[in-house]
Chain A
Amino acid sequence: MSDDSSIKKIKKVFQGESWGIKEFSVLIFAIAVQLWDLNVRLSGTYFSTINYQIISLYFSLAVIAAIILDKKPPFKKIFARIGIGLPFFQKLFGFLLFSFIAYCIPFANYIFMKIPEYGGIPLRTITSAILIFWPIWIIYLAFSEPKKLARWAGSIYLLIWVIILIVSIAPLAAYQLQDAEIPGVMPGRTIGSLYRELVGGAKEWKQTIEGGTIGGYEKIKKEIQIGIEYSKTGIDPTQAKVDAANKRDLGVQVLQMKASSPVYYENDQVNVYAQIKAETLEQPVTTKVKCYATSEPIPGQIFPSNEFTIETYDVQDVDCVFPSDNLEEGLHTIHLDTEFNFETVSYFETFFMNEETLRELQKKKQDPLAGYPKPSATSSKGPVNINIKTPEAPIPSAPDKRMTLSITLHNTGPGQIKELKEVYIFIPKGLGISTAIDGRKIYQKIECNELPSEEAKVCVPDTTTVYKVSADELKKELYKNIVLSREFRLYLEIQDYDALLGESIIKPGNIYASAKYDYEMDQKVQIKIQKQPTSI
C-alpha cells in the first residue's frame, strides 16, 4: 500500500504536478543561457551588435519553453488580438519576445555609458548591475504560476543577483565613505552611508535641474549638438586613431573642481579650488587661468598664480577666491577658464601605385594591398585629433593625376580651440597643389629651412614638400572658437611622377600635419549663497 503511494508520489513529481520538473528543467537551461551570455558578452565584445551564438541560444530557449511548458505565456492577449489564436504559437511568439528582450537588455546600458557621471553618481555602476544581470526569463519561470523546484532555484539565483548588485554598488559606497572620512568599513555603516549618499545624490539631481544646466545635462547637450553639427556641415566625424603607445594624457586637464562648501552665507568668503594637470612631451605649455561668477559677472582672484609654464608634467593647485559680501543671495555658477597653447601632430602612411599596374590588378579583382596594413592616420594625444584622408589606397599614380587630401581638426577635449596659430602640411615629394583650383592664397609652399626648428627636424627636403596655411587665412573667424571641427581640403596633383614613385611599382608615402593652437576650457561649479540666519 505504501509502495503504491510512493510510486504515485514519484509519478506526480515526474508528471510535473507538484514539483514542476518541466519548469525546473527549463529554468536550469535559462540560467545556463543567461550565465553563458554574461560570460561571452561581458568578457569580450560586450556591445558588439550581433552575437549569433547567443541569439541561437535564446532562440532555442524560447522554442524549448514553448514545447515543454504549459504555463500561461507572456503577452498572450496581444498575440490573440493580432489574430494568433493557436496556443502553441501564442506561447512561441511570447517566449521569442521574452528572449529578444533578454538579448537586448545589455544594450540599454550603452545609453548610460555615454553619461559616466551625473550629479556625482556614476550611473554606469548601478545601471550595469541592474540591466546586465536583469534575469527576465528566470523571474518569469520562478514566479509566474510557480512550482516548487523552479521557485526555490529561481529564488536562489535572484538572491545571488541581489548580492552582485550590492557588490556592484559597493565601490561607489566605498568611494563615498572615503570622501566622508569614515575610519574602516562596517556593514551597517556602509549600508547607512550608501542610503544617505543615494538620497543625497537624488537631491543633487533635483538641485542641478532646478539650479540650471550643469554637468551631465551639458554633456548630453554637447553630444546632441555635435551630432547635429556633423550632419549639417557634412564633415566626416571619423577621427584618426590616437597614439595609443603613448601612455601619457597629453594636454591640460582640470581635475576635481570643487567649492569648499555647496552653501555659503552672504558674509562668507567663497573658495572654489581645482587641480590643473598639464602634460606634454617636448613642447612647453603655458597655462593661463581666470575665474568669475556669471551672475553679475564678478571676477574672482586666482591663487597662487594665474599663469604657469610646464615642460613635461606638472599638477598645480589653483584657488579661486571671492571675498565676503561679493556675491549676493541665490544660486551662482563659478567658472574657471583655463587657456593653454598646444600642438597636435598626425601621421598618415598610405601607398602610391603605378596606375596602369593597379588597374590591371583591379580588372582581375585582385587585391593590390593583400597582406598590407590598412592605412590610417595616427594623431598625437591632446584635446585635438587630426584626421587625414586621401583617396583609397593604393592611390593610383600617373603624371598629372589629381586627388583631394582632407585634413580635419576635431575638437575632442572639453573646451574649444580658441585660435589656430599655425598649420603645416607635409606631403611626399612629387605631389603639389593643383593649378586647376588656385589654393595659393590659403596654402603657401615653403622650404624645410623656413620651418620652425622642431618641424624642420622632421622635414627631409629630398622627399617632402611642405605647405603652410597662410597667416591671413588663419586670422579669419572661421578658425576661431572651434567647438566641433574644421576641415582643410587640398587639391593636389602629381607634378613629378618619378619623384613620387621612385623606382618602385608600389611605394609607401607619408602625409604629416601639425597644428599649433590656443585651447580654452571652461569648468563650472554651482554654489548657493544664503541669507545669514537670524539668531533668536
Chain B
Amino acid sequence: MIKKIICLTMLFILIGCTGMRFPKNKEAIPVPDIHQGTTAIEMQYTEGMPPKEIFEKQLFEIGLELQNKGATDIQNGIFNLAVNEQFITLLDEQMTRFNIKGKSVYNPIGGKEQIRIKAQSRELGRQISGQSTTLIANACYQYQTKATILTCIDPQPLKKETKVCTVQSQSTPQGQGGPIAVTNIEPKMMPHQNPDKIKPAYVITIKNLGNGQVIEPNTIYDACTGRNIGKENYDILLINALLSNEILNCEPQTLKLRQNENKILCESTAGIPKTAGNYQTPITIELEYGYIQTIPKTIRIAKRTY
C-alpha cells in the first residue's frame, strides 16, 4: 500500500513538474511567401556616400546598396554610374557586374550587394561659390516573375450541383516578387472542338508595378550602355503558362506592354473531359524580362574659398 502511495505521489510530482502539457495541434512554422511584392532590385545611395556637399578638388566615395527583394536570382546584372564629367572624375570603373540572390525560404529578405566607386571633384570656375550636380546610378538585369494561383475547373458550369469551387476572376494586386505582376486572372470555360471536353481559357492581366523600364531580356547590355536596341525590344515580356502540368497556349507569347494594363489569353489545347468533375488546380504564369532602373542623387560642390 505504501509503495502504491509513494508511486502515486511520485507520479503526481512528475506530472506537476512537466506541467501536464499534452500536444493538441502541432503549430506549423510559417513558411515565408517569397513570391510576394513588386520590387526586384531596391537601389539606394549609402548614407553619406557621397555627402550632400563636398569641396572642389576633393576625393570622395560614392556608395550604393543593392538589395534583391524579389524572388529571382540575378546573374550578370549591370550597374553603371553616370556623372557630369565637367565636375566629377570617376577614379574607378564606371560599370560593374553584379550577382545577387533573390528571396528564398532560407533568406526571406533577399541578397544584398554594396558598390563603392572612388571619385574626385574638379576645380570650379571663379566668381561662383558652388555648383549642384546629379549622379545617376543605373541597374539593368534579367528577371522573372512566377505567379502560381489556384484556379477552379468546372467542365459543366451549367449543371446544378454542390460544387467544390466556383469559376471566378481573381485579383492579385500585391505582386508575385517582381516588378512585373499578374494582377488579375479571369477564367473562362470555353467549348472544345471535342464535344466531350471543355477548354479552360484564362485572360491574364499584366502590369509593370515598378518604376523601371522593361526591355527584351537579351538586350540589357546594349540598353544599359546607351546603345539603340530598336523600338521592338522595349516593353517586351516572354510568357509561359502551365495549368497543372499542361503547357497552355498563350497568345501572344511575347507580349509588348503598351498600356498600363495589358491582357493576354492563355488556353488549354488538350482540354478537360466533361466527366472530370469540378476541382481546383494551380495555374503557373512565368514572365521573363529585362529591367532597367535609375536613381539620381544631387550633391553640391562648394568652392574651397569664397
Q: Choose among B128, B226, B295 the residue that contacts A354 (Cβ–Cβ < 8 A).
A: B226
Mask, B224-253, CB within 8 Å of A = 1, is: 111111110011000000000000000000
In the complex, chain A residues 497-516 whose Cβ is within 8 Å of any chain B Cβ: 501-510, 512, 514
Q: Do B127 and A373 touch (CB < 8 A)?
A: no
Q: Do A373 and B298 touch (CB < 8 A)?
A: yes
Task: Determine if B211 is an interface residue (Cβ-Cβ < 8 Å).
Answer: yes
Q: Do B129 and A245 touch (CB < 8 A)?
A: yes
In the complex, chain A residues 280-305 whose Cβ is within 8 Å of any chain B Cβ: 280-283
Query: In the complex, what residues of B have CB within 8 A of residue A382's CB?
Result: 127
Which residue of A is nearest B89, CB measured?
A460
Which residue of B is nearest A510, CB measured?
B86
Task: Determine if A361 is an interface residue (Cβ-Cβ < 8 Å).
Answer: yes
Task: Determine if B122 is an interface residue (Cβ-Cβ < 8 Å).
Answer: yes
- Closest-CB distance, B89 to chain A (whole angstroms): 8
Mask, A480-511, CB within 8 Å of B = 1, is: 00000000000000000000011111111110
- Closest-CB distance, B207 to chain A (whole angstroms): 12
Q: Do B128 and A243 touch (CB < 8 A)?
A: yes
Q: Do B134 and A373 touch (CB < 8 A)?
A: yes
Q: Which of B30-38, B77-85, B144-152, B177-185 contacts its partner? A: B77-85
Q: Do A243 and B133 touch (CB < 8 A)?
A: no
Q: Do B124 and A349 touch (CB < 8 A)?
A: no
Task: Determine if A380 is an interface residue (Cβ-Cβ < 8 Å).
Answer: yes
Q: Do A360 and B234 touch (CB < 8 A)?
A: yes
Query: In the complex, what residues of B have CB within 8 A of residue A510's CB?
Result: 84, 86-87, 133
Number of A-B contacts (CB under 8 A): 146
Q: Do A349 and B126 touch (CB < 8 A)?
A: no
Query: In the complex, what residues of A have CB within 8 A of residue B135's CB?
Result: 508
Mask, A321-350, CB within 8 Å of B = 1, is: 000000000000000000000011101010
Q: Do A506 and B82 touch (CB < 8 A)?
A: yes
- Closest-CB distance, A193 to chain B (whole angstroms): 42
In angstroms, Cα B226 to Cα A503, docked, is 5
- Closest-CB distance, B303 to chain A (whole angstroms): 8
In the complex, chain A residues 230-268 whose Cβ is within 8 Å of any chain B Cβ: 243, 245-246, 248, 250
- Closest-CB distance, A127 to chain B (whole angstroms): 35
Task: Determine if B136 is an interface residue (Cβ-Cβ < 8 Å).
Answer: yes
- Total contacting residues, chain B, CB less than 8 A: 50
In the complex, chain A residues 347-381 whose Cβ is within 8 Å of any chain B Cβ: 347, 349, 351, 354, 356-357, 359-361, 364, 366, 370-373, 378, 380-381
Task: Determine if B171 is an interface residue (Cβ-Cβ < 8 Å).
Answer: no
Task: Determine if B99 is an interface residue (Cβ-Cβ < 8 Å).
Answer: no
Q: Do B296 and A457 touch (CB < 8 A)?
A: no
Q: Choose among A344, A378, A460, A514 the residue that contacts B131 (Cβ–Cβ < 8 A).
A: A378
Task: Determine if B223 is an interface residue (Cβ-Cβ < 8 Å).
Answer: yes
Query: In the complex, what residues of B have CB within 8 A of residue A512's CB?
Result: 86, 125
Task: Determine if B94 is an interface residue (Cβ-Cβ < 8 Å).
Answer: yes
- Closest-CB distance, A304 to chain B (whole angstroms): 28
Query: In the complex, what residues of B have CB within 8 A of residue A506's CB?
Result: 82, 136, 138, 294
In angstroms, Cα B260 to Cα A463, docked, is 39
Q: Do A505 and B226 touch (CB < 8 A)?
A: yes
Q: Given A246-B306, A281-B306, A502-B82, verify A458-B125 contact (CB < 8 Å).
A: yes
Query: In the complex, what residues of A have CB within 8 A of residue B83's CB?
Result: 508
Q: Choose among B82, B85, B127 the residue that contacts A345 (Cβ–Cβ < 8 A).
A: B127
Task: Determine if B292 is an interface residue (Cβ-Cβ < 8 Å).
Answer: yes
Task: Determine if B213 is an interface residue (Cβ-Cβ < 8 Å).
Answer: yes
In angstroms, Cα B129 to Cα A381, docked, is 10
Query: In the complex, what residues of A have CB within 8 A of residue B234's CB?
Result: 356-357, 360
- Closest-CB distance, B82 to chain A (whole angstroms): 4
Query: In the complex, what residues of B have CB within 8 A of residue A349's CB?
Result: 84, 131-134
Q: Choose among B84, B94, B126, B223 the residue that contacts A509 (Cβ–Cβ < 8 A).
A: B84
Q: Do B80 and A356 touch (CB < 8 A)?
A: no
Query: In the complex, what residues of A have CB within 8 A of residue B82's CB?
Result: 502, 504, 506-508
Task: Determine if B206 is an interface residue (Cβ-Cβ < 8 Å).
Answer: no
- Closest-CB distance, B231 to chain A (whole angstroms): 7
Which residue of B is nearest A346, CB measured?
B128
In angstroms, Cα B128 to Cα A454, docked, is 13
In angstroms, Cα B211 to Cα A398, docked, is 24
Q: Do A370 and B211 touch (CB < 8 A)?
A: yes
Q: Do B126 and A345 touch (CB < 8 A)?
A: yes
Query: In the complex, what residues of A have CB within 8 A of residue B80's CB?
Result: 503-504
Task: Determine if A387 is an interface residue (Cβ-Cβ < 8 Å).
Answer: no
Which residue of B is nearest A500, CB measured?
B226
Which residue of A is nearest B230, CB measured?
A356
Query: In the complex, what residues of B have CB within 8 A of residue A373's CB?
Result: 132, 134, 296, 298
In angstroms, Cα B80 to Cα A248, docked, is 39
Q: Given A501-B226, A505-B223, A508-B133, verify A345-B128 contact (CB < 8 Å).
A: yes
In angstroms, Cα B225 to Cα A36, docked, is 56
Which residue of B is nearest A353, CB measured?
B226
Q: Do B123 and A457 touch (CB < 8 A)?
A: yes
- Closest-CB distance, A384 to chain B (whole angstroms): 11
In the complex, chain A residues 13-32 whose Cβ is within 8 Å of any chain B Cβ: none
- Closest-CB distance, A481 to chain B (whole angstroms): 23
Query: In the complex, what residues of A have CB within 8 A of residue B258's CB?
Result: 364
Query: In the complex, what residues of A have CB within 8 A of residue B123's CB?
Result: 457-458
In angstroms, Cα B138 to Cα A524, docked, is 59
Query: In the complex, what residues of A have CB within 8 A of residue B95's CB?
Result: 503
- Closest-CB distance, B84 to chain A (whole angstroms): 4
Q: Do A347 and B226 touch (CB < 8 A)?
A: no
Task: Determine if B302 is an interface residue (Cβ-Cβ < 8 Å).
Answer: yes
In angstroms, Cα B86 to Cα A344, docked, is 18
Which residue of A is nearest B221, CB measured?
A503
Q: Do A460 and B127 touch (CB < 8 A)?
A: no
In angstroms, Cα B126 to Cα A380, docked, is 9
Query: In the complex, what residues of B have CB within 8 A of residue A366's CB?
Result: 213
Task: Determine if B108 is an interface residue (Cβ-Cβ < 8 Å).
Answer: no
Task: Determine if A416 is an interface residue (Cβ-Cβ < 8 Å).
Answer: no
Q: Do A250 and B296 touch (CB < 8 A)?
A: no
Which residue of B is nearest A454, CB measured?
B126
In the complex, chain B residues 245-273 whose Cβ is within 8 Å of any chain A Cβ: 257-260
Q: Choose among A360, A371, A457 the residue that contacts B125 (Cβ–Cβ < 8 A).
A: A457
Query: In the complex, what residues of A have CB within 8 A of residue B134's CB?
Result: 349, 351, 372-373, 508
Can you list 16 A-B contacts (CB < 8 A)?
Answer: A246-B128, A248-B306, A281-B306, A282-B126, A343-B127, A356-B228, A372-B296, A382-B127, A428-B85, A428-B86, A464-B86, A503-B94, A504-B94, A505-B223, A508-B134, A512-B125
A residues whose Cβ falls under 8 Å from a Cβ of B: 243, 245-246, 248, 250, 280-283, 343-345, 347, 349, 351, 354, 356-357, 359-361, 364, 366, 370-373, 378, 380-382, 398, 426, 428, 454-455, 457-458, 460, 462-464, 501-510, 512, 514
Given A360-B231, A458-B124, A508-B135, 9 other A-B residues pairs in contact with their CB atoms under 8 A: A245-B130, A343-B127, A356-B228, A357-B213, A373-B134, A378-B128, A460-B85, A504-B226, A506-B82
